[in-house]
């Protein structure tokens, strides 16, 4: 018997169909072991020795592999054809050898696509494990471990509130923070454009003023309303004649097939998918045999695939759409060992695969690959120049037409940020000497725009341009930034949270070299030299460690107050921007209001993170929160918002273990309420409203029982007669009237069915399950919160908050539960037999007195 090891059960199922009865295919379910998350797992003083630990949830699965290996004559390691795949095979071999279950014959095979031909060809050409590739994995894993486990304790002790730092993660965060700084430093400039609406032979077109009073106009030349209106009047008063018509033929060639990076970028632009979601879908398509391997830097296609693609083009389109010669694309990847074939369909006669999001991604991959072998698009760009009789004023109109679509008939590449002067339209037929009719002239005001915030697509593109990290790791890197709440997403753009800004400032000030773009990119180059056998992995680690370790010790020796003082100066422009009234930006507003002297603000470190506080503390309790998501101006520790008009007690805003809250009074009798995240203008008025919840709306018109509005663990809600209805926002709790409340409760009852109980609302939505295709939801349950894809429910561990669970964690929990099979129904217990009542002992006769 021959035992074949792959990563996933889906891949195992597909491959098993192609191999004969002599083969048994088992899945490792990804990596089987890792470095334990504790100090000492990598020991630099012992030649970077590493301790490995098998995952708890993989122990029973690996036992199945070990038991099968003992009976096998040959072991075939058929994991993915990249560094991680090589590492998984190495781990499996090492563990089997340790358990004395390794067959005499051990082979490694790789294939770029899970098709019968690719699998059988690979089986016929086995090789040994690639040791340089394994060394590159060991170096990268040890490097990331040493960076994280050495730097993170420094953060915890010297920068309270910081959660972790990573080699690539910290640099990606710096890119987002730097862009935030650029946007803040940006000062908009006013400019105007003058556009004339012209007409020729019944067709309207727009012409831009490009020369005024003999001066060529740049973007900012017309910088105020006065000059713009003067230019507009000059155009209105003039008669323009066409003096130049220039027509240029243009050709556009198709983009190459997808790499990992370009797939993530296009899926984000065209489909709105996150990088992690794209990679899960691609993994599923690969394991189903629909596409080639999806972790690649290569843009080249196999010769047989090019032939199949060209055949598909000729079958679908006329001969004009097929170029005379095949298009050959060259990879720009620095490391040839890790550059595989581009991502493409395994069968070009199959234009559909998968369903839902999988189907959408396959369609994108199919069209991009097919377009890459199609003819160039032919376009024609026309520029028409019109001048007044003096020649001092000039209008210009541009238009572009597609003469032959070529590859554009199938696919057009997306762009992250388009310019604001695209004038690609159809112009009417015009000749020199014509004087088109002027129908109107507009002067339009504009303002220069700051650089756009990063989208997932543009961030991935920038990381790749800088040579930072690997495209296959970008999805997990970006997800970590979101999970740590260092960044947030709004309208598909990254915003740096204040905790992310603080961490970046700390690293820039104390570990500048290790968040420098050139250092991180240079480290990637060195790791590439290890993977192709040109550098020893331990020497690379030694060079890193001899500088990094002393640097962390130097920072650890500093007092927290010293660190805060340095950051206060480093961030002064951000924390204390210039005031409109000209006063000192560090002047304490509370001390000013209460007539105290010496109230000066500065950055301070607290138990739950950094915050801005007054030098007059504890007399002055003014604080302003810094390192919390959303960074409210009123945040902080022990900030007095004002006094309750009824009791006269202070209303304080505090930060606790579970976030910001308000408190009225002290001790056991104090009233407290959490501060909802959707209140941007939080003040004393809002604090008093929250402290007075629940709000009674009034008696229900049918039952006469009270309807109550309140805020609970899962957000704002209504309650009436033991039934609930969900509200959309905190504001609605205080604004909703009786009619709307009755309607919300009725809708909730209808969703809940005949029983009238309102259907539970999801705590969180997490995208689509990569295998089942069902929507993943985090739900409240009778016996605790759980995750579900609509088919399988999995309980969330007690030590994990349901609000914090990530999509990857949810998929893992659901898959683990599904692997156990359906829950066994417990048989009805027979009623317990009644015990016979104990016989009463006869009462002892009392002795005669």
Catalytic residues: 293
Burial of 152 (0-12, 13-18, 19+ CB in 10 A): middle
The answer for residues whose C-beta is within 8 angstroms of residue 92's C-beta and 6 or more apart is: 5, 28, 32, 65, 77, 79
The answer for residues whose C-beta is within 8 angstroms of residue 365's C-beta and 6 or more apart is: 258, 263, 282, 285, 291, 343, 344, 345
Torsion 54-60-64-70 (CA) sign:
positive
Q: DSSP secondary structure string, 577-590?
A: PPPTT-S-TTB-HH
Query: Tokens 């369909």 identify what position?
Result: 345
> Residue 93, Cβ neighbours under 10 Å: how many?
18
In order of 654, 659, 809, the CA distances from 504 in angstroms are 25, 22, 27
Query: Tokens 């690997």 identify what position?
Result: 470
Nearest one of 149, 183, 115, 180 to 38, comparing CA atoms: 149
Measured CA to CA, the distance from residue 732 to residue 709 in angstroms comes to: 9
Residue 604 CA to its chain's centroid (Å) = 31
For residue 43, list its beta bridge partners: 49
User: Is the CB of residue 91 less than 8 Å from the CB of residue 108?
Assistant: no
Q: DSSP secondary structure string, 163-209?
A: ----HHHHHHHHHHHHHHHHHHH----EEEEEEEEEEETTEEEEEEE
**Per the structure block, which two tokens stand in for 819?**
């692997």
- Angle (CA) 761-480-815 rounded to 5° is 55
Measured CA to CA, the distance from residue 25 to residue 18 in angstroms comes to: 11
- Angle (CA) 127-129-135 rounded to 5° is 150
Torsion 221-225-230-236 (CA) sign:
positive
Measured CA to CA, the distance from residue 274 to residue 480 in angstroms comes to: 13
User: Is the CB of residue 498 less than 8 Å from the CB of residue 603?
Assistant: no
The answer for residues whose C-beta is within 8 angstroms of residue 693's C-beta and 6 or more apart is: 673, 709, 710, 711, 733
Measured CA to CA, the distance from residue 235 to residue 206 in angstroms comes to: 13
Instruction: Supply the Cα-derived Rg of the chain in whole angstroms.
Output: 34
Main-chain dihedrals φ then ψ at residue 178, nearest 5 degrees: -60, -40
Measured CA to CA, the distance from residue 444 to residue 439 in angstroms comes to: 16
**Per the structure block, which two tokens stand in for 583?**
């006063």
Q: DSSP secondary structure string, 632-668?
A: -TT-SSSEEEEE-TTT--EEEEEEETTEEEEEESSGG
**Omega of the bond prior to 694 within 30 degrees of 0, cis?**
yes
The answer for residues whose C-beta is within 8 angstroms of residue 844's C-beta and 6 or more apart is: none
User: Is the CB of residue 720 less than 8 Å from the CB of residue 732?
Assistant: no
In order of 71, 128, 621, 829, 833, the CA distances from 826 in angstroms are 36, 50, 60, 8, 20
The Cα diameter of the chain in Å comes to 147
99-114 per-residue burial string, b: 16 or more CB within 10 A, e: under 16: eebbbeebbbbbbbbb
**Omega of the bond prior to 747 within 30 degrees of 0, cis?**
no
């Amino acid at each position: 018997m021959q035992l074949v090891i792959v990563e996933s059960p889906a891949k195992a199922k597909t491959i098993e169909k192609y191999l004969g009865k002599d083969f048994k295919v088992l899945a490792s379910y990804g990596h089987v072991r890792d470095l334990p998350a504790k100090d000492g797992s990598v020991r630099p003083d012992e030649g970077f020795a590493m301790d490995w630990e098998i995952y708890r949830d993989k122990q029973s699965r690996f036992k199945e592999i070990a038991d099968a290996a003992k009976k096998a004559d040959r072991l075939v390691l058929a994991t993915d054809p990249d560094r991680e795949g090589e590492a998984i095979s190495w781990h499996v071999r090492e563990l089997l050898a340790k358990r004395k279950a390794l067959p005499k014959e051990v082979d490694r095979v790789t294939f770029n696509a899970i098709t019968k031909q690719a699998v059988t060809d690979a089986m016929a050409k086995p090789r040994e494990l690639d040791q340089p590739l394994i060394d590159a994995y060991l170096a990268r894993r040890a490097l990331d471990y040493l960076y994280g486990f050495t730097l993170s304790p420094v953060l915890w002790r010297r920068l309270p509130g910081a959660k972790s730092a990573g080699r690539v993660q910290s640099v990606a965060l710096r890119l987002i923070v730097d862009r935030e700084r650029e946007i803040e430093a940006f000062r908009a400039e006013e400019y105007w454009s003058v556009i004339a609406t012209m007409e020729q032979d019944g067709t309207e077109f727009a012409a831009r003023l490009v020369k005024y009073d003999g001066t060529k106009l740049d973007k900012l030349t017309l910088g105020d309303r006065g000059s713009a209106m003067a230019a507009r009047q000059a155009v209105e008063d003039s008669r323009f004649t066409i003096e130049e018509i220039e027509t240029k033929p243009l050709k556009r060639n198709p983009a190459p097939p997808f790499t990992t990076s370009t797939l993530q970028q296009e899926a984000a632009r065209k489909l709105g998918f996150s990088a992690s979601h794209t990679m899960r879908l691609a993994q599923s398509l690969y394991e189903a045999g629909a596409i080639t391997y999806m972790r690649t830097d290569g843009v080249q296609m196999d010769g047989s695939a090019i032939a199949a693609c060209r055949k598909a083009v000729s079958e679908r389109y006329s001969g004009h759409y097929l170029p005379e010669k095949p298009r050959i694309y060259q990879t720009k990847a620095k490391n040839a060992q890790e550059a595989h074939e581009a991502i493409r369909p395994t069968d070009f006669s199959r234009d559909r695969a998968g369903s839902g999001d999988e189907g959408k991604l396959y369609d994108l991959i199919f069209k991009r690959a097919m377009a890459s072998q199609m003819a160039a698009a032919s376009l024609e760009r026309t520029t028409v120049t019109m001048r007044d009789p003096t020649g001092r004023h000039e209008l210009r109109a541009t238009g572009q037409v597609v003469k032959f679509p070529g590859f554009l008939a199938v696919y057009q590449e997306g762009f992250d940020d388009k310019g604001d002067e695209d004038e690609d339209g159809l112009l009417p037929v015009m000749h020199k000497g014509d004087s088109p009719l002027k129908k109107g002239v507009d002067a339009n005001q504009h303002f220069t725009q700051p650089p756009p915030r990063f989208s997932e697509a543009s961030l991935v593109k920038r990381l790749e341009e800088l040579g930072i990290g690997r495209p296959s790791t970008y999805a997990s890197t970006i997800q970590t930034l979101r999970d740590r709440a260092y960044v947030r997403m709004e309208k598909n753009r990254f915003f740096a949270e204040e905790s992310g800004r603080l961490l970046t400032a700390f690293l820039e000030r104390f570990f500048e070299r290790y968040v420098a773009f050139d250092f991180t990119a240079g480290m990637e180059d060195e790791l590439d030299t290890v993977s192709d056998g040109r550098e020893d992995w331990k020497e690379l680690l030694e060079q890193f460690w001899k500088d990094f370790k002393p640097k962390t010790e130097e920072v650890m020796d500093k007092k927290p107050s010293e660190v805060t003082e340095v950051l206060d100066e480093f961030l002064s422009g951000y924390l204390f921007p210039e005031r409109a009234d000209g006063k000192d930006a560090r002047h304490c507003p509370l001390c000013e209001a209460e007539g105290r002297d010496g109230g000066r603000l500065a950055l301070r470190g607290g138990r739950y993170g950094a915050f801005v506080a007054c030098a007059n503390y504890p007399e002055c309790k003014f604080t302003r929160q810094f390192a919390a998501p959303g960074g409210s101006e009123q945040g902080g520790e022990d900030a007095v918002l004002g006094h309750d008009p009824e009791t006269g007690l202070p209303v304080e805003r505090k930060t606790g273990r579970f976030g910001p809250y308000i408190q009225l009074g002290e001790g056991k009798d104090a009233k407290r309420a959490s501060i909802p995240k959707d209140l941007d203008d939080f003040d004393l008025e809002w604090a008093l409203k929250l402290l007075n919840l629940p709000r009674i709306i009034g008696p229900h018109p049918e039952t006469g029982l009270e309807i109550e509005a309140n805020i609970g663990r899962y957000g704002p809600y209504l309650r009436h007669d033991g039934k609930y209805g969900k509200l959309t926002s905190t504001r609605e709790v205080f604004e909703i009237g009786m009619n709307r409340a009755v309607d919300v409760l009725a809708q909730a009852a209808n969703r809940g069915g005949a029983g009238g109980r309102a259907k539970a609302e999801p705590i969180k939505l997490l995208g689509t399950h990569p295998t089942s295709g069902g929507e993943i939801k985090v739900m409240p349950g009778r016996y605790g919160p759980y995750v579900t894809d609509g088919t399988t429910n999995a309980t969330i561990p007690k030590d994990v908050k349901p609000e914090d669970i990530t999509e990857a964690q949810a998929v893992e929990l659901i898959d683990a539960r599904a692997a156990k099979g359906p829950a066994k129904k417990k048989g009805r217990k027979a009623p317990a037999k009644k015990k016979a009542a104990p016989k009463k002992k006869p009462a002892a006769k009392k002795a005669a007195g």
